[in-house]
Structure formats: C-alpha cells, structure tokens
Structure 1
Amino acid sequence: MAPLAPFVPPHEVIGEGPHRVVAIHGWFSDRSAYTALLPHLDRRAFSYVLPDLRGYGRARGVPGEYTTSEAGRDLLALADHLGWERFSVLGHSMGGAVAQRLLAAAPHRVRRLVGVSPVPASGVAMAGEQWELFASAADRPDNRRAIIDLTTGNRHPDAWLDLMVRHSVEHIDPVAFRAWLDSWAREDFHDQIEGLPLPVRVVVGGHDPALSARVMRETWLRWYPAAELVELPAAGHYAADETPLELAHVVEDFLTPDAG
C-alpha cells in the first residue's frame, strides 16, 4: 500500500520571533501538551508552531499509517505551508522520535534539535508484561494512569494523574493511539541520523525511570557528535507540566545562540 499524501496538520503559531520552532507533542497528549510552558516562552525571539499529529486533537479521525516517518513528512508539509525554510525542532517523548524522522528527511532545514524525555531513533525495547501494559493502554485508562504514574516517579497527586488520563482519553483516537506505539517503540532508524553534526540538547527528568539520563547516554549522545544532556532534578517524564519554568529556560537558552 502506497503511503498517504502528506497532510498539513491542524496547528497554532505562538510568537512572532525570527527563530522558528516546530514543537511536537508525545504519545499521551495533543498539542496542548505544551500549554503550561507557553506563558514562559519568549515570543519576541521565537515563533513556535504546535501541530496535532494524525489521530490527536483536531486531527482525530484523520486516516493514516500513524507512524513517525509519516509524521515527519506531514511536518515538512506544515513547514512548507508556513513558508519556513529553516527551523529548529522540539519534541517530547514520542515527539522526539518524530523530530528525528523530520531531521532524517531534511537535515539541511533543521537548525537545532531539542528532545525532552525523547524516544531514541532505535525505539524502546519492551517485552512481556511491560509491553502488554503499553499495548493495552489504548482501551484501558487504568493502564494509562499506571504508565504516567510510573514515569513521573510515583509522586504526583491523584487529581493530576486523573486529569492527564482524562485528557488523553478525550483527545486521542484509540485506534491511532495503539498504532503509534508500534512505530515509536519498535522502529529503528538510527542509522539515518547517526553522525549528523547539528547542535542537539537532550532534556530528561530526574524522576523518569524509563527515558533516563543513562538511556540518553547510550543512544542520543552516542549518535549526535554535538549533543549535550541536561537533567531536571524535579521533573519526571512530563517536564512541560511538572517544571515549565525550568524547561522554558533550558530550551530557549540552547536555542538563543542561533536566534538570528
């Protein structure tokens, strides 16, 4: 079956600055994943575009393969639609894998790359009960809650966990949610990005046992010669929600040297 034609995702643009940034959400949320971060961003220096990937938010019901490679093509179509020839990319979790697909497809267009608790280009090895926990999460909200609780260090209030789960159920198509898992967890394309010389910053939360600093040293930091690692001690997997001020600083501090 031939790939579907690229699709310009529903999106919003925040800011009017000259440094353009594509901000990609993760598996558990649509573009509102960055809501808590937005008030702290420098809108004079940067313009951020926040898209909904296929199956998420305003793109629920949009048919697709629901793969990171398809999303990379969609985001290039979005950049073309906006007239953005050069831009930086910010990706959270699954969005980190999507960001690297975009980079692999058009390395000459990406200025800088920031991954926040990002999935490596080699995927994430899971088997047995762990795989079943993730694979069943599309139909079982309790599994979604368990995953969010685990990856934030089992330390957040029930009300916050319930809010995160409710939002994911209400804003993500379950068929797409399940299909996305096979792509971001099981596909290995690191040979397509290994050695690319662009500046890369990887941000992890100190309370995230899944996509930890150790995992990043074994993957991202090995593959990108200009990569650096920042750990946020008070965050888990969802730094944009847990520590938005700190995340805004480490993102824009890294992007600022190339702001012109």
Structure 2
Amino acid sequence: MSSLGYKTIGKGKNYIIFLHELMGDCRNYEPIFNYLDQEIFTCLFVDLRGYGLSKEIHGEYNCLEASNDVKDLITSLNITTYSLVGHSMSTLIAQKIALIDIRVKKLILITPIPAFGIKMNHYAKEALLNQMQENSNKIEQIVEDSSKRYNNSWKNYRIKMAYSSSTLEARVGYMKMYLNVDFQEEAQEKIDIAIKIIVGKHDFPVFAYNQVNKNFSKYKDVEIIECNEAGHYPMIETPIFFASHIEKWCL
C-alpha cells in the first residue's frame, strides 16, 4: 500500500505525530501552526486512509489497520521516539499504537473515546450508520448540535470540512470502528506511558470531564485538563491554549 500522506511543520529533534477526527483531516490543526516552536519540534500532521492527503488510499478502515499504517510511516521516516496526539475518533487509534509501538513516549488524547468505544443499542447503532451511509443530513445534525454557541459561518465551515476531508466509505468505516471496538482491558493493563487529556467544557456529555475521568480512571498515569472556552475542537477554538499545552507535555 502507499504510505500515508502528511504535512510537516518544524525541524526540531522532538517529534510529535498528530492524528485527526472523523469529520476533518490534518487541516483541523492549521490554527496552531503559528504557535508551535519549529526549532524545538518537528510536527507531522497525518491523514488516515480515505482522508485528506491519503484520500485515494482504500482499506478496511479499522483500528489495527490504521495503527499499523501510522507505525509503518514512523518506521519509514527513521523516527526513533515520538509523542502521539489523537483527536476524538483517532484517540482509539492512538491508544492502539501505544500498545504496538514502543517508540511512543507520550500519549496525548483530545476529547477522547475510551478503548471500549462508544456504546449504544443495536437499533440506534444501525440507524446512525444508515444515516451516515445515506448522507441523509446526519453530518449537518451533528454540527448543529455541537455548535449552538457559534454562528452560521462556523457551522458551514465544519459541514464543508466534514464532506470535503474524506470519502463516504472512510467516514462510515471509521464510525463502525468506534461503535464496535473494545480493547479496554488490554489498554488499561499494558499502556504504561503518561497519558495527557484535553476536554472541552462545551462538548457533548459523552466527552465531558467527569465522563472522561471515569473512562480513564484505571490507567496508570493520567492527567486531564478542561478547556473552559472550547467544545469538541480545542485546536481550532483555542489554538494558543492548545499549542502551549502540547509543547509543555512533549518536551
């Protein structure tokens, strides 16, 4: 298979790998570019199969495939150690990478999904997947529900990003991943590196501080901070706050 596409910022000796969420690609991180120390860090913003710079790469769109894709990319670049940042959907992939790649020295999870995925009953799951597969305004509904504080320009921007960043096949595939995956026991037992988490005060309840704290309470070394001015996109809503914490944690 072709290697995943990515964008590089910086030329420092400290490597940070950034992964994106379901309804965006590496462009989600563009607001932080000016606030990263490019002499200290080399930041790689990676697009998964079916997304952004990797949109033409097809696959199964599951957790293990994506994790191995990122691991293979790191190997091809001769990176010996790195910090790994996942956002929402890709926090599952980031946790799996931490299990299979000893080069990960720090795990940073933004508005994370726990390793047991997002649970819902069979009928609700099928309805959600069918709506996404049929492109029946589910993306518009999600954006509307998550953006009540913001104006129509923001909503239109997020809707356009969701459709333009990925193929339908990839969006549905990765949604199936987080609705069906479960490696929680393995993650809790075997992830022994520090985990840093950012949640947004205005995010959906499933990503709220108390819920995330409960989901990650049995991991060995976890720190959670809440961004009071953000919802699901702290890298866009509060880029200076976001970049500052990423740099502090990755030194």
Task: Please say if 1:193 is aligned against 2:199.
Answer: no
* Preserved CA contact (<8 Å) 2:8 2:43: yes
- SS class of match (1:201): strand
Structure 1 residue 133, shift from structure 2 partner: 4.2
Report Cα offsets for 1:101-132 as digits up to 9, x if no partner.
Answer: 111112x2110010010111110113455763
Alpha-carbon offset, residue 215 of structure 1: 2.1
- 1:231 aligned residue (226, 235, 238): 226
1:175 is aligned to 169
Note the C-alpha offset of 1:39: 1.3
Aligned position for 2:30: 35
Residue segments in structure 1 that go unaligned for 5+ positions in a row: none
- State the match for 2:110 in structure 1: 116
Counterpart in the other structure of 1:215 = 211
**What TM-score does the superposition give when structure 1 sets the normalisation length?**
0.89
Residue aligned with 2:84, SS:
strand
The 5-angstrom pairing of residues 90-105 of structure 1 reads 90-105=85-100
Q: 1:59 aligns with which of 48, 51, 54?
A: 54
Distance 1:138 1:242, change over 3 A: farther
**Structure 1 match to 2:157:** 163
Q: Is the 8 A contact 2:50 2:166 kept in 1?
A: yes
Compute the displacement of 1:61 (Å): 3.0
Counterpart among 146, 152, 158 of residue 151 in structure 1: 146
Return the letter of the residue paired with 1:165.
I
* AA in 2 matched with 1:211: F
Check whether the contact 1:203–1:232 (CA below 8 A) recurs between aligned residues: yes
2:104 corresponds to which letter in structure 1? Answer: V
| Alpha-carbon distance in structure 2 between the residues aligned to 1:102 and 1:39 | 28
**Correspondent of 2:237 among 213, 237, 242:** 242
Any idea what the Cα deviations from partners look like across 1:30-55, whole Å, max 9, x if unmatched?
11111111111111111111111001
Per the TM alignment, residue 231 of structure 1 is displaced from its structure 2 partner at its CA by 0.2
71, 75, 80: which one pairs with 1:80? Answer: 75
| Change in CA separation of 1:39 and 1:221 when aligned onto 2, cut-off 3 Å | farther
Residues 122 and 76 of structure 1: CA distance in aligned 2, closer, same or farther (over 3 Å)? same
Deviation per residue, 1:165-221 (Å, 9 max, x gap): 112212210011111111122200122221322111110000012311122112223
- Distance (Å, rounded) in 2 between the aligned partners of 1:220 and 1:8: 32
Residue 104 to residue 151, structure 1, CA distance change in 2 (3 Å):
farther
In the aligned structure 1, how far is the partner of 2:3 from the partner of 2:21? 18
Matching of residue 126 in structure 1 with residue 120 in structure 2: yes
Q: What letter corresponds to residue 71 of structure 2 in structure 1?
A: L
Q: Distance in 2 between matches of 1:132 and 1:164?
A: 23
Does structure 2 retain, via aligned residues, the 8 Å contact 1:221–1:228?
no
How large is the Cα RMSD of the aligned pairs? 1.7
Moved more, 242-251 or 227-236: 242-251
Partner Cα distance (1:141, 1:243) in 2: 31
CA drift at 1:75: 0.4
Q: What is the CA deviation profile of residues 120-165 of structure 1, one whole-angstrom value per residue up to 9, with x for unaligned ones?
A: 111011345576346523443632122123234x211111111111
Counterparts of 2:145 and 2:234 in 1: how far apart (Å)? Answer: 14
Deviations 1:55-113 (A, max 9, x none): 1012223120001211100001110111112111001101111111111112x211001
Query: Which residue, 8, 11, 15 being the options, matches 1:13?
Result: 8
Structure 2, unaligned runs of 5 or more:
none
Percent identity, aligned pairs only? Answer: 25
Contact 2:129–2:176 (8 Å) recurs in 1: no
**1:24, CA displacement in angstroms?**
0.3
User: TM-score if structure 2 supplies the norm length?
Assistant: 0.92
Cα distance in 2 between the residues matched to 1:243 and 1:132: 33
Q: Which amino acid aligns with 1:15?
A: G
